[in-house]
Amino acid sequence: MRQNIDEKWKTDPRRTALEKRLGSGRLADGMRVEINWLVLAHKGRPIPLKEFKFVENYQDWIDCELAEVRGGLVHIAGADAYQAFFSKQVKNGGKGGRPKTQKNPKQTQTKPEKPSSSISSSSSGSFSPSFSDSTSDSGSKEVPAAPAAAAPPPDKVLQVSIWDSYSRAYFSRYKTEPVRNAKVNAQIKQLAKRLGKEAIDVVEFYVRHPKAFYVAKCHDIGLCVSDAEALRTQWARGSAITGTEARHSDTAGAIRSQLERIDRGEL
């Protein structure tokens, strides 16, 4: 099956907004192709938000009004056409078949209608994803079968869990969502590699950390990456090390050093 990015999509203002967010039209078109496959995999039905989060830069797609989140489900603009198509297929007994209630074999078969093959503007501002048809040997056109929904890889699941933990803790502290972009995604990926599953708890611990430098930077995720191993140690021992504690430790160490020198007769 060949994906087709048509001219109406390329001139859609939402595509322009997405291009600005992602940095290039190629990335915007690639993201659309990925989401079209997801729409087909779910037969046009709303996609669970937890699954939709596996799409990189998923929030940009939502912010550009290409999807809407309602009740934990993501409604992709234009997906209704696919849902209606697949529902009609089931009613007609499958792809290319006659309706199940039809008993006369000589009666003309009802062909299922295809979903719109181009982006069409409507009163709600939605669009229908574009797919080219595949032609069988007999010359009849069939809508390609939806690909099976594959389980996301474990590393992606871990990265989503780390981000969810960080964003919840961040919102609880600052009453606003943290920024998420390509740089942040890469940093979350680094945390997953360096700390594994422990990163889920470490990022939450980090956002609660009272260190003045972290607070001044509003607990930027980059600082968590820089101090990942140290933060993990503090999380594991159950208490944070602040600048004040570090200075006290330094002073105590200096006093011990002086006492040891006195014992050795060096002073």
**DSSP states of 77-119:** TTTHHHHHHHHHHHHTTSTTPPPTT---TTSPPPPPPPPPSS-
Q: Which residues of 187-203 are buried (b: 16+ CB within 10 A; e: fewer)?
A: bbbbbbeebeebbbebb
pLDDT for 124: 40
Domain assignment present for residue 149? The answer is no
Domain assignment present for residue 38? The answer is yes
Confidence label for 232 from pLDDT (cuts 50, 70 and 90):
very high
Confidence label for 84 from pLDDT (cuts 50, 70 and 90):
low
Domain assignment present for residue 231? The answer is yes
Confidence label for 184 from pLDDT (cuts 50, 70 and 90):
very high
Radius of gyration, CA atoms only, the chain:
28
Q: Tell whether 138 and 158 lie within a shared domain.
A: no
Domain assignment present for residue 52? The answer is yes
Q: Tell whether 177 and 101 lie within a shared domain.
A: no
Domain that holds residue 110: 7-142
Distances (CA, A) of 141 to 40, 114, 190, 240: 17, 9, 47, 65
Q: Tell whether 116 and 196 lie within a shared domain.
A: no
Q: Tell whether 109 and 198 lie within a shared domain.
A: no
Q: Tell whether 104 and 181 lie within a shared domain.
A: no
Query: Which of 142, 171, 194 lies at the terminal end of a domain, its last residue?
Result: 142
The stretches of the chain forming alpha helices (DSSP H) are 7-10, 13-22, 25-41, 49-52, 58-63, 80-91, 154-174, 182-195, 199-207, 212-216, 221-226, 228-237, 243-263
Domain assignment present for residue 175? The answer is yes
Minimal CA–CA distance to 114: which of 132, 137, 139, 136?
Answer: 132
Domain assignment present for residue 266? The answer is no
Query: Which of 116, 142, 168 lies at the terminal end of a domain, its last residue?
Result: 142
Region of 6 please: left (phi>0), alpha (psi -120 to 50) or beta.
beta
**In the structure encoding, which two tokens stand for residue 210, read together?**
């009272």
pLDDT for 206: 96
Q: Tell whether 12 and 114 lie within a shared domain.
A: yes
Q: Tell whether 73 and 119 lie within a shared domain.
A: yes
pLDDT, tens only, 118-172: 434 333 444 444 433 333 344 444 544 544 545 667 888 899 899 999 999 999 9
Q: Tell whether 125 and 183 lie within a shared domain.
A: no
Q: Tell whether 44 and 122 lie within a shared domain.
A: yes
- Checking if the pLDDT of 109 tops 50, the result is yes
Please report, rounded to a whole number, the percentage of residues in the chain having pLDDT higher than 90.
Answer: 29
Q: Domain tally for the chain?
A: 2
Of the listed ranges 59-63, 218-222, 242-246, the one predicted with least confidence: 242-246
Query: Which of 121, 142, 163 lies at the terminal end of a domain, its last residue?
Result: 142
Domain assignment present for residue 2? The answer is no
Model pTM above 0.75: no
Q: What is the mean pLDDT of residues 54-63?
A: 86
Name the residue with tokens 């907004």: 17
Longest pairwise C-alpha distance within the chain: 113
pLDDT for 101: 54
Q: Tell whether 188 and 235 lie within a shared domain.
A: yes
pLDDT for 165: 93
Distances (CA, A) of 90 to 96, 102, 126: 10, 14, 25
Q: Tell whether 186 and 249 lie within a shared domain.
A: yes
Domain assignment present for residue 265? The answer is no
Q: Tell whether 184 and 84 lie within a shared domain.
A: no
- Contacts of residue 189, defined as CB under 8 A and 6 or more positions apart, other chains included, come to 155, 159
